[in-house]
Amino acid sequence: MAHPHPARPTGTAGNPATGACLPCTIRPACLADAPHLPALERDAAQAFASIPELAWLAGGDVLPLAEHTASIAAQACWVAPSAAGPLLGFVTAHPYGQDLHIQEMSVTRAAQGQGLGRRLLHAVCTAAQKRGLQRVTLTTFVNVPWNAPFYASAGFCHVPDAALDARLASILADEHATGLAAIPRCAMQYAVPAAAECVSK
């Protein structure tokens, strides 16, 4: 179940992010990072407590540890460590054919609004480009400010229902069945260019 947690917008698509940026370097995750990711996601999810229809997500399930370890094994997970060492954010993805699908992206509450979400997206899109993939995909809430509007600001586009492939349609159906239909969700995609940067850091 994908419901990316707060990584608030800090710029516009095609331009460098504005505002304060934390002094950390995004790096590929290692297996030692995996046990820390569920707690980080739980911390980030507390932002949903401010939305009555989604408040249950603040105490809901998080991505299973096995999903993180599989993503790390596929070299499709990135983390944002603080200068002191603890992780401030992560993005877990998985390759599907010519797509790299974001399963979860979370930034800890203390680090939200400081550009980490955009930098994590940049890592995903750059990796997809280097691997010769065609799209980065995800599913998210349509009207939650740090969900679809944030991804749109980074260059992601809404995938209309009529254009959904079987994989994305199945993900949305599963999310609907697990109770995520209280607020509309959608699939989004980023068409990976053959050259040049993807998402600006």
> Do residues 130 and 138 make contact, with C-beta atoms less than 8 angstroms apart?
no
| Residue 8, pLDDT score | 34
State the pLDDT at residue 194.
78
pLDDT for 12: 28
pLDDT tens profile 90-138: 999 999 999 999 999 999 999 998 899 999 999 999 999 999 999 999 9
Residues of the chain predicted below pLDDT 50? 1-20
- The whole-number pLDDT of residue 199 equals 63
Query: Pick from 182, 78, 162: which is nearest to 120 by CA?
Result: 78
What is the predicted pLDDT for the residue at 180? 83
Q: For the chain, which residues make up each domain, given as ranges?
A: 27-191
pTM: 0.86
Please state at what angle helix 37-45 crosses helix 65-73, rounded to 10 degrees: 120
**CATH of range 27-191; options 1.10.510.10, 3.40.630.30, 2.60.40.2240, 3.40.50.720:** 3.40.630.30
What is the per-residue pLDDT for 121? 96
